Structures are given as structure tokens and as C-alpha cells.
Structure 1
Amino acid sequence: LDPYGNILHVLTMDEPHESIVIGASGQVEIDVLRECEHERQSALPFLRFTRLTEADAALRGFAQQHCKQRRDRGALIDLMHALHGHISYLTGSTAVETSAAEAFAGQQGVCQDHAHAFLACARSLGIPARYVSGYLLTDSDDHLASHAWAEAWLDGAWYSFDVTNCLAKPERHLKLAIGLDYLDACPVRGMRRGGGTEQMHALVEVSPQLKVQKQ
């Protein structure tokens, strides 16, 4: 387990190799009626900014403009919708090292950038917020490789805010990991030494499982 409670699997390869294939499968049961998640751990570490979630003057002003003095769920839902309108979803417009400030200034990004911008705004308001990576049950192929959203600490619980889809309930979300930003919660991360080049390809299938009631 890492400091955030995520389960980690570590692989070390010290022999020459051409490829590594990682496969995983499972079943997830989602309670569509649950709107928040309670935890005993302190939420204060999620007030800390990182390089990817640093709030510059533009992000701080944007958060203050849309939330003003409000620090409740309604304010963050308004913020979620405002960020969705400001940062257009465009595949390939940013990279994994793009910061929230850069995506906000360019007004383009993907779900990772939406989540980072939300974290930057929420933390600038004094609200603990964390990055969530996982998968989304959807008819679109845009988020199948991986999806990202944010959770904010309000009234003693974590509430979800999916800026990309303007969803404030995690009724179609499969949580994989949490962290301060993408680098803490990305599904696969690694480093290597040696020559050559590398590429990573992901193939994901998310489908509903129908329950059969016994007679």
C-alpha cells in the first residue's frame, strides 16, 4: 500500500526484453445511491499543491469568481460546470506533464486536465481535494483507456466531481487509485535504462453485468 491506501504491484525486469504485457480483470459493484465516501484519515494532506495542480492568479480568480464566499457542494458543482465550459475537451491537446495552469490558459485539455484544474481551484479556496483515476461506464470511446475526476472534502466526506462529464455522482465510475495528482494515481508508471524507444498501448473494456434473478 502507498501512503494514500492504493494497492501497488511492482515489477522489476533486469533482463533484455521486447515487451511487457500487463493484464487485469475484475467485477465492480456500484451503489448508485451513495453520493459520498466517508474515511477516518485526515483530509488535510490534500490541501497541498503540486507542480501539476499549482493555482496561479488566473485559476485563483476563476475559483473566487464562481464560488465567492460559498464553500459548499453547490458552489463546487457551479465550479465544475464553469471549468467544463472554459476547458474544451480535445484529445491530444495536452500531455501528461501539462499543468493545470497551462491547460487553463490554453482552454483545451482532457479529463486529466479537467481534474487538475478543479483541484487547483478547490485547494485555492481552502477545500481539500484529491485526484481520482479509474474507468467510466459509457457508450463513448473517449474515456475507455483511462478516466480521471476529482473528489472534494465537504462536511466530513468525499464528494465526486467529474468535470469532463459534468457529473457530481459517481454512479458510473470505477475508482482505481487516488492521489495529489495524476502522477500519484496513474494506472501504470515506470522507468527504464538503456537504448531504444518505448511505447505504451492500453486496451480497456467496461461493460455492465446483468443480474439474473433466480425463480
Structure 2
Amino acid sequence: MIYDVTLNIAYDYPAAVKDARHVLRVRPRELDGQSVRTARVTVAPHPDEAGRELDFFGNALDQLLILPEHEALSVAMRARVEVRRALPDLEATPTIADLAAAAAADRETGPTGPMHFLGDSRIARRIDAVSAYARELIDPAAPAGEAVLAFASRMKADFTFAPGATTVDTPLQEAFAKREGVCQDFAHVMIAALRGVGVPAAYVSGFLRTSPPPGRPRLEGADAMHAWVDVWLGPDMGWQGFDPTNGVTVLDDHVVVAIGRDYSDVAPIDGVVLTAGPQKTSHSVDVVPVGERVRKA
């Protein structure tokens, strides 16, 4: 599947910003099964300095410095991405018990090494109640791939997708206790749960293609940024994506932007601004198969 992807992020500030420094993580990644044909980022006001690099995990960073005073910031990303992922054989994976032992013994220190995704991270910390939830539902003798998919499906059934029920700062334990939240909460709970039983799990941010109702054209702006989980399934299969919000394995509807230990590693925009008062932000996403008709909302 080939997609045209559009992301727009806007900030409005209550007072003029002086000396803004930003790090953007908005460009789709080059990965096995995902190829970026074109990608372009535009920013207003125009940056005084701009540079690009990769972080430790291989995510594309845009480093920006904006010196003139400004009361608004806009970021637009346009990309064409081809996604063709093979259907994984989840049965042909080690048992959960064997996988946990292999992960504990692995000494790969590169960005895909499971050791980086086993312990506590800034947001996804192991919590006794979350680990107990995982142990109750995950059979250590089951093939790891099948067990993780079943766990993602169970999370979809047990948790309610409720925009507005949480914020970006809501602690993981609160979202778990409420059993509601958004994709970010689902991903953090699943990561903490899997790490709690010794399974390496990473946070993935990106885009999800959504489909309009039958017979209706796709609306512009109908998509949003999404989050899911990559799970290490052993040295043979490596990393495989699972989406607990939807209870599915990650195939061609998902476009990867950034991978890290939790949201703090992959936030679309980070940085420092000098201003006063609360800022307002909005974003919209379009993930449109090439050639599909789009109607303005």
C-alpha cells in the first residue's frame, strides 16, 4: 500500500515567544516493510537554524532555532510512504518463558537490542498491579507471538477508548486503574505489563489509516497520530508490532514515525520556549492511499 501522509501541528501562545528551540520527530522511518519515497517538513515562522540527524534509536530529528518573537507556530509534514509488511507466523515463536530467558541473556547493545526495552523507562515503569494483570492473562508456556496478540485483544476488551479521559501527563497507574484512555495509555500499559513478565516491549508513534463508512468518501483530517507497541519475539523473528487499541497485529494500515522506550523518547515536538500562560495546540493527520478520493471536511 502506498500512502500520501499529511501532518499539521499548530501552537498558539498567549504571549510572544522569544528564542524557541524545538526538536521534531515527524518524518516516517525507513524500515523493513516500510519505504519513504518523499518527506518534507515546513515550519512557520521560518527557522533561523535548522539541522537534521538520527537519534540513538534511528528516529529522524529536525532541530530548529527560531529567534524572532512570534505568537504562533505551525509544523507541516508531507510524505509518500510505501508499506508492505509480511503476515507474521506468530505460532512459530518461542514460549513466553523461553523468550524471557533469551531476552535476559541477550547482550546486544545496538538500538534494536532487547536490553533497552526490558527495564523501567521514564513513563513505562513496572507496577505490581499491571504485572499481575499480565501474569493472569499470559500463559508462560504459550508461543510468545500468539500470547502477545491475545493479550492485546484482551486489552481492547477490558479498556475503553475515551478521548479526554486522560492527558499526555496522566500517570500509567491512573490510566490502568480507570481502564480507559487513548492509544498512548493503551501502549504504556501494554509495555509495562509485558516488561513485568520479562518480555521486551517498545513504544511506537506513527499514523493509522482509518476507513470511512461504506459508500462514503474519506474525510480530510479524519486520522490522528497513533501509538502502538513493538515486541521482541526472539532472535529469529525480531520485532513485531501489536496495536492494543485495536487488538491487532501491525500490518499495512500503520505507518511508523518513531520508536523508543516510551512516549518521552518519541514525542512529535519537544523543546524550550520562553513565554507566559497556557498554550493552545491542535493537530490533524491524513493517511490517504494514493489515488483515493478525499473530500474536504
Alignment TM-score, normalising by the size of structure 2? 0.65
Distance 1:143 1:92, change over 3 A: farther
Question: Is 1:12 matched with 2:65?
Answer: yes
| Cα distance change of structure 1 residues 65 and 86 upon mapping to structure 2, 3 Å threshold | same
User: Secondary structure of 2:206's partner?
Assistant: strand
Matched residues in 1 for 2:78 and 2:187: separation? 25
Large movers: runs of 4+ above 6 Å: 140-143
Q: Distance in 1 between matches of 2:196 and 2:62?
A: 33
Q: Aligned-pair distance for 1:68?
A: 3.1
Secondary structure of residue in 1 paired with 2:166: coil
Query: Matches of residues 1-215 of structure 1 in structure 2 within 5 Å?
Result: 1-35=54-88, 41-70=112-141, 72-139=144-211, 144-156=223-235, 157-210=238-291
Residues 69 and 149 from structure 1, CA distance in 2 versus in 1: closer, same or farther, beyond 3 angstroms?
same
Moved more, 73-82 or 183-192: 183-192
Alignment partners' CA distance in 2, 1:68 and 1:143: 38
SS in 2 for 1:93: coil
Q: Distance in 2 between matches of 1:186 and 1:173?
A: 17
Give the superposition deviation at 1:34. Answer: 5.0
Greater relative contact order (Cα < 8 A, sep 6+): 2
- Listed as ranges, the gaps of 5+ residues in structure 2 are 1-53, 90-109, 213-218, 293-297
Deviates more, 1:126-135 or 1:53-62: 53-62
Spell out, residue by residue over 1:42-86, the C-alpha distance to the aligned partner (whole angstroms, 9 max, x if none). Answer: 221111212421121210111001113246111111211121122
State the SS of the aligned residue for 2:248.
coil
SS of equivalent to 1:205 = strand
One-letter amino acid of the counterpart of residue 45, structure 1: H
SS at match of 1:190: strand
**What is residue 31 of structure 2 aligned with on the other side?**
none
**1:78 and 1:43 mapped to 2: Cα distance?**
21
Identical-residue share of aligned pairs (%):
32
RMSD (CA atoms): 2.2
Bigger CA drift: 89-98 or 48-57?
48-57
Larger Rg: 2
Q: 1: CA distance between counterparts of 2:82 and 2:291?
A: 11
Question: Which amino acid in 2 is paired with 1:131?
Answer: Y
Q: Give the strand-richer structure, 1 or 2.
A: 2
Corresponding residue pairs, total: 209
C-alpha offsets along residues 7-38 of structure 1, whole Å, 9 cap, x if unaligned? 100112232101111111111111142549xx
Q: Counterpart of 1:184 in 2: which secondary structure?
A: helix
More deviation, 73-82/137-146: 137-146
